[in-house]
Amino acid sequence: MPADPVDRPNRARSELLEFLHQIELLSRGTLLKRTKICGKKACPCAEDPARRHGPYYEWGRMEADRLVHTMVSPAQARLIAGAIRSHKKIQRLLRNWERESTKRILRPEHPSR
């Protein structure tokens, strides 16, 4: 049975609130995983990509209208990756709630005949 259009914004809101209760960390930004060449002549990192140094993790984000980059540990990178995924899911849930709210607001009270 199709869902009642009037109830869709309430379901979208409930889904968002349920997710908010489940998450602990939330963050925007980008997490980069990099390997590097050290520049020493005798080091094999320059010749073989599989022997490059790293991986190193870099977290980029906006703070006070400035782009900030921070090197983070692998453990921190895992936490940041989860926090970024949570932020993206919240944004998707908010867009869904807004879309359903708009449909409800614009729905004619009495369909024309």
pLDDT score, position 10: 85
Looking at residue 103, what is its pLDDT? 87
Report mean pLDDT in 10-residue bins for the chain, 113 residues.
64 90 95 93 90 95 96 97 96 92 79 52
pLDDT of residue 3: 55
Cα 15 to chain centroid, rounded: 17
Distance between CA 8 and CA 104 in Å, rounded?
8
Taking a C-beta distance cutoff of 8 angstroms, is the pair 37, 53 a contact?
Answer: yes
* CA dist list (Å): 7 to 10, 48, 75, 88, 97: 5, 59, 42, 24, 11
Q: What is the pLDDT of residue 108?
A: 67
